[in-house]
Chain A
Amino acid sequence: MTDTQPTPSIPVSAPPPGPVAVWRTRFPMASRIAERIVLGIGLLFASSILIFAGIEMLPGDFATTYLGQAATPQAIANLRAEFGLDRPIVARYFDWLFNILHGDFGHSWASGQSVSGQIADRLGNSMLLAGAAAVIAVPLAVGLGLIAVLYRDRLVDRLINLVSLAAVSLPEFFVAYLLIMVFVVQHPVAAFPATVYDSMSLWQKLQTIILPVATLVLVVLAHMMRMTRAAIINVMASAYMETAELKGISALRAIVKHAAPNALAPIINVVALNLAYLIVGVVVVEVVFVYPGMGQYMVDAVTVRDLPVVQGCGLIFSAIYILLNMVADILSILVNPRLRHPR
C-alpha cells in the first residue's frame, strides 16, 4: 500500500544518506542555507545553458540574417567562420561560459564594441535606478500594508485596496507618460529625457532620475503592499493572535509584538519578489526615459538581433534575479525560528 500513500508535497531535494544526514540533523539551519546556495548555483548554471542553447537552437543565425536571403552559401560560410559559428555547440558554450567567468562577454555583432565594457557602464546606472526605487518603495509598501491591516475592512483599507488594485493593472509605460505629461509638459519641474552622464555628481544624477524612480515606485508599490497585507492577515488568522486578542492587548501591540516577527519571512519574500520585478520594470522605464542602462541596451540589441549582447544582458538579468531570490530564501530561513528545526 505504500505507493498509494498520499505525498502532500515533494521535498526540494531527497534527504541524502550517510554523513550528510548526520550533518543535517546537527546543523539544520546551516545545512538548509548550504542547500539553498547549491540550488542557486545550480539554477544559475542551468539558466546559462538555457539562455545559450535557447538562442542556438532557434532557426536562423546572425550570418543569414545579416547577409539577407540572397547571400551566397560561400559568403554565409565565411561570415560564420569569422564569428566562430561553424564550431560545435558544446564547444562554443564552454568557451562562452569560460570567457564570461573571466569577465569577457565577447563583442557586439552590430557595433564590434566590447560587451563587457558597455555592461560595466550600464549596470551601475540600472542599479542606481532600481536601488533608488527600492529604498523608497519598500518602507512605504510595508508601512501602508500595516496600516491596511490595522484598519482592516474599514474605509482606509478599502481605499488602499481599490487604489492598489487599479495600480497593479497599469502598464509601466502608461504611468511613465502620465508622469511626463504632468511633471514635464504641464508643470515643468522634472527632467526629460532622464539621461545621466558619467560626469554628473550623484546628487545631479538623482535629480535627473526623479521621474523614472517615481514610475518604478508606483508600479511596484501597490503590488508589494497588497502582498504585505495578505501575508500579515494570514498570520493574524492563527490561534496565538486570537489568544493575544483575548488577553486584551491593543491591536497595534498585537501586530508589532506577535504578528510582525512571524510575518517577517513572508514579507521578506514579498520584498525580494518585487525587487526582482524591478529588474523587469527597469527595462521598460529605461526605454521610455532614454536612460542609459542595461534594459535599453538589451532592447536595442534584440531589435537588431545582436546575440552576444542579448545573451550577456539576459544572463546578468537572470543572475541578479536568481541571487535576489536566493538571498530572500536565506534571510527567511534566518529570521524564522520554525525553519531552524526541520521536521
Chain B
Amino acid sequence: MNIRSVPLTAWIGMAGIAMAVIAAAFAPWLAPFGENQIVGSPWEPASHAFPLGLDNLGRDLLSRMIYGARMTLFVSFCATVLSFSLGIILSFVAAVMRGVVDMGLSRLNDLMMSIPTLIFALIVLAALPQNLFVLIVVMAVLDSTRVFRLGRALAGDIAVMDFVEAARLRGEKTLWIVFREILPNAMTPLLAEFGLRLAFAVLFISTLSFLGLGIQPPTADWGGMVKDNKDGIIFGVSAALVPGAAIASLTISINLVVDWLLKRTSSLKGGRGG
C-alpha cells in the first residue's frame, strides 16, 4: 500500500481517532484536574485556568472530557471486539456447516433483528443489573446480529469458491476452513465493517448514557456528560455541546477512515456487481 495514495480525508480521520486514543491512554497525566474534583462554582464560564469552563457541579469540563474519552472508547471498543468475534465465528460456521445449523442461526438472527436495537437494549437493561460488564455484553450481543448478517453473506460468497471446495475435499476440518480459507479472504470488507460498528458503538453507548441507562455517574463518559449539563442549554451554557461535539468528531473521524477503506475495497474488486 502506497502512503501517498491515502486521501486527505482519511488522514484527518486517523488524526481524530489518534487524538481520542491518546487522551484515553494518558488521561491521568493529561488532565489538569481530577475526574470528580470540584474546582469552582457550577457552569463557570471558560477562563485561563479552565479552557472549557466548569460543568453542572463545578468540575473542570476539560478534565472530564479527557477521562470521558477513556470510558467511551473502552466500552465501545470492547463491545465491538466482542460483537465481531461472536458475529463472525457464528456466521462463518453457519456458512460452512449449512443445513440445519445455518437455518437455525440465520432465523434466530432475523428474529433478533426484527426488534430495533435501542428498543431491545432498553427492554433487556430494564431487567438486568446496571454494571459495566452487563452493558458491554448487551451491546455486543445486539450488535453481533449486524455482523452476522454481513459475515454470512461474505462467507456464503467465499464458501462456494474452488479453493474452499478443494480444502473440503482435502478433508480439512470446519474450523480450518473458517480461519484459514474464508477469514483471510473476507478481511478488507470486515475491517471496514469493524469501523462502522465501532462508530455505531460510540453513538450507542453515548445514547444509552444520555438516557441515563449506560455508564452510571460519577464516572465521566461523553454521553453522560451531555445528560449532566443539558439543563444549562436553556440558559445559554454550552457545556453540554462540548461532549456532544467530541462524540460527533470521533464518529466522523471513524467514518472518514471507513469511507476510504470501502472505496479501496470496491476498486480492488474492480467494482462489485458491475
Interface of A toward B, CB cutoff 8 Å: 4, 6-10, 43, 46-47, 50-51, 54-55, 58-60, 162, 165-166, 168-174, 177-178, 180-181, 184-186, 192, 234, 237, 276-277, 279-280, 283-284, 287-288, 298-299, 301-303, 305-307, 310-311, 313-314, 317-318, 321-322, 325
Q: State the CA gap A306–B125 with chains docked (Å).
A: 11
Q: State the CA gap A284–B121 with chains docked (Å).
A: 13
B118 at the interface (CB under 8 A from A): yes
B123 at the interface (CB under 8 A from A): yes
Distance in angstroms from A174 CB to nearest chain B CB is 3
Residues of B near A50 (CB, < 8 A) are 111-112, 115
7 closest A-B pairs by beta carbon, nearest first, are A174-B244, A6-B160, A169-B251, A58-B127, A169-B252, A302-B126, A310-B126
Q: How large is the interface on B (under 10, 10 to 19, 20 to 34, 35 or more residues)?
A: 35 or more
- SS of A interface (majority): helix
Query: In chain B, what residue has the closest Cβ to A43?
Result: B114
Query: In chain A, what residue has the closest Cβ to B240?
Result: A177
Given contacts A4-B168, A43-B110, A178-B244, list 15 more A-B pairs with CB under 8 A: A10-B103, A47-B111, A50-B115, A58-B127, A170-B248, A173-B210, A177-B244, A237-B271, A283-B122, A302-B211, A307-B127, A314-B120, A318-B115, A318-B119, A325-B114
Across the interface, do B234 and A171 meet the contact criterion of CB distance under 8 Å?
Answer: no
Query: In chain A, what residue has the closest Cβ to B236?
Result: A185
From A54, A303, A322, give the contact of B213 (CB < 8 A).
Answer: A303
Q: Mark B248-274, 1 if CB is under 8 A from A, else 0.
A: 100110111001000000000001011
Q: Which of B31-39, B181-189, B199-207 contacts A (4 or more CB under 8 A)?
A: B199-207
Given known A-B contacts A10-B103, A172-B207, A279-B116, A237 and B274 have beta carbons under 8 A apart: yes
Q: State the CA gap A8–B255 with chains docked (Å).
A: 31
Given known A-B contacts A58-B128, A301-B126, A302-B126, A174 and B118 have beta carbons under 8 A apart: no
Across the interface, do A171 and B248 meet the contact criterion of CB distance under 8 Å?
Answer: yes
Q: State the CA gap A9–B156 with chains docked (Å).
A: 7
B85 at the interface (CB under 8 A from A): no
Across the interface, do B238 and A174 meet the contact criterion of CB distance under 8 Å?
Answer: no
Q: State the CA gap A174–B254 with chains docked (Å).
A: 17
A/B interface sample: 9 pairs, CB < 8 A: A4-B168, A51-B123, A55-B126, A58-B124, A59-B128, A169-B248, A234-B273, A284-B210, A302-B126
Given known A-B contacts A166-B252, A168-B255, A284-B210, A60 and B129 have beta carbons under 8 A apart: yes
From A43, A170, A321, give the contact of B111 (CB < 8 A).
Answer: A43
Across the interface, do B114 and A173 meet the contact criterion of CB distance under 8 Å?
Answer: no
Across the interface, do B123 and A54 meet the contact criterion of CB distance under 8 Å?
Answer: yes
Q: State the CA gap A310–B9 with chains docked (Å).
A: 43
Across the interface, do A169 and B116 meet the contact criterion of CB distance under 8 Å?
Answer: no
B149 at the interface (CB under 8 A from A): no
Q: State the CA gap A60–B273 with chains docked (Å).
A: 51
Residues of A near B160 (CB, < 8 A) are 6-8
Q: Mark B6-48, 1 if CB is under 8 A from A, else 0.
A: 0001000000000000000000000000000000000000000
Q: State the CA gap A181–B117 with chains docked (Å).
A: 29
From B126, B226, B238, give the contact of A181 (CB < 8 A).
Answer: B238
B122, B127, B259, most chain A CB atoms within 10 A: B127
B180 at the interface (CB under 8 A from A): no
